[in-house]
Amino acid sequence: MRTPLAWKNLTSSFNKCALAATGVGFAVVLMFMQIGFRNALIDNNVQLFSLFDTQTVNLVVFSKARYNVSTEQRFSRRIFEQAAGFPGVDRACAISLERGTASVQVAGRRPRPVRIIGIELKDSSFFADQQLFHRLASADQQRAALVDVRSKTFYGFAATSEQLARQQIELNGQGIAVTGQFELGTDFGNDGTLLMSQRLHADFFPWRNRGGSPEDVVDIGLLQASASSPQELDTLAARIQALAPDEILVKRTTRVIQEEKDFWASATPVGKIFLIGTIMGLVVGAIICYQIQFTDITENMPEFATLKAMGYGPGYFWSVILWQSFYLACLGFLPGMAVSYGLYWLLSESSGLIMSMTWPRILLVWSLTLVMCVISGALAIRKLFGADPASLF
């Protein structure tokens, strides 16, 4: 039975093995955290759409001047009503967003900027959570709002609906009741969110439409179309956009979400910074792995030289080093992932950012870890091939 030299060599010393695994685990944590922050930036900026059933809400209408979801550019409700009545469109829902001119103050705290989302309450089928629709409709009957449970703690919002109902809260200097909670999440531009009906939203922001009613403009329009295939939806979107080609864009919901992610990932410096951070984590890990494996080969050079003199060829040594790289990747990845999961949870709870450790991201970091260890092993093995067995005795 062939001796598992790679495993024996790596685990011959507990201290050496633990140190090697710690070095790789450190690089794994670095990569996980950079990828986590980058995806928190990307995912959280499309969290708005998580409130809605994107399987049935399949078209989005927005101003041509709105280059991303956060941009405050609006279009005429008249155009949206025409789009809602277009053949092939079953239902429509308008959304109002306000951030730049919204300020909330909880009694005893100082005023802070906040995001305000106003939604038309015509049809519950738009909502991903039917209970949220009913809670929002109930709040609207009391001229009240719901608060995002993940809003930053510095706002001072109470932890329960009963406590919230007793708090004195002002929105732009006017008293507002907050009767319940919902879950959305913060992002790098919004620390908290209030959710209300579009009707109540218009009362608090009368200046949204100069010279007219604030309800006469729409930030984002959602459409439920009877078409199902992407091709049919794209055709319908183009026909609706032809109603006002200089004012609106109409796209599939999935496409809007993907383009928003692409915008934050590639068109903003923050997305590039976190990408560079991930690469730096990979480089740091490769250097650590190289030092570990180079030192190991150096310390065991007489033993490797003996095997070389006995006739073992390059293929055998490649298999030993590559298997050792694989074991090293496993020993470092598993604890590194566990630590990263804990940090994800801690940061998500403390910051309100949605930091998700999904399987594709786990597989990405595992692949990077394995590549990192294999490349460092391939670089370290050059010392072995360059040595003359006769000079080592």
Structure tokens at 323: 């298997």
Q: In whole angstroms, how far apart are CA 340 and each of 28, 31, 286, 325, 326?
A: 8, 9, 19, 22, 20
Least confident of 218-222, 254-258, 278-282, 341-345: 278-282
Calculate helix-pair angle for 314-351, 301-309, nearest 10 degrees: 140
Beta strands (DSSP E) in the chain are 59-63, 75-76, 89-98, 103-106, 112-113, 115-119, 144-148, 169-171, 174-175, 177-182, 193-197, 217-218, 220-225, 248-252
- Give the model confidence (pLDDT) of 2-42 as tens digits: 667 788 888 888 888 888 889 899 999 999 998 998 888 88
DSSP class of 247: T
Residues 274, 38 contacting (CB under 8 angstroms): yes
Structure tokens at 157: 């919002």
Rounded distance, CA 289 to CA 295, Å? 10
Q: Is the pLDDT of residue 391 over 80?
A: no
Calculate helix-pair angle for 269-299, 14-44, nearest 10 degrees: 170
Report DSSP letters for 262-325, one per residue: HHHHHSSHHHHHHHHHHHHHHHHHHHHHHHHHHHHHHHTHHHHHHHHHTT--HHHHHHHHHHHH
Residue-range domain boundaries for the chain = 5-44+268-392, 59-226
How many degrees, rounded to 5, is the angle at CA 187 between CA 184 and CA 188? 170
Rounded distance, CA 203 to CA 207, Å? 10
pTM value? 0.83
Share of the chain above pLDDT 90, in %: 57
Q: Is the pLDDT of residue 294 over 90?
A: no
**Across all residues in the chain, what is the average pLDDT?**
89
Sorted by sequence, the CB contacts under 8 Å of residue 384 that are 6+ apart come out as: 297, 301, 304, 308, 317, 321
- Give the model confidence (pLDDT) of 65-102 as tens digits: 988 888 889 999 999 999 999 999 999 999 999 988 89
Burial 79-108, CB ≥16 within 10 A → b, else e: bbeebbebeebeebbbbbbbeeebebbbee
In the three-class reduction of DSSP (H, G, I as helix; E, B as strand; rest coil), residue 174 is classed as strand
Closest residue by Cα to residue 276 from 63, 46, 34, 92: 34
The larger pLDDT score, comparing residue 272 to residue 118, is at 118
Dihedral of the alpha carbons of 84, 101, 52, 130, in degrees to the nearest 10? -110
Residue 2 has a pLDDT of 64
Instruction: Read off the pLDDT of each residue in 183-204 and give the average, rounded to a whole number.
Output: 92
In the three-class reduction of DSSP (H, G, I as helix; E, B as strand; rest coil), residue 215 is classed as helix
Residue with tokens 């403390």: 350
- Give the model confidence (pLDDT) of 40-71 as tens digits: 888 888 999 999 998 889 999 999 998 888 88
How many degrees, rounded to 5, is the angle at CA 279 between CA 278 and CA 281? 65
Residue 40 has a pLDDT of 84
DSSP class of 102: -
Residues 82, 61 contacting (CB under 8 angstroms): no
Q: Which of 233-237, 346-350, 382-386 has the highest mean pLDDT?
A: 233-237
Give percent helix, percent strand, percent coil of the chain, each to the nearest 5: 55, 15, 25
Residue 276 has a pLDDT of 87
Q: Is 313 exposed, middle or buried, given 0-12, 13-18 or 19+ CB atoms closer than 10 A?
A: exposed
Q: Is the pLDDT of residue 1 over 50?
A: no
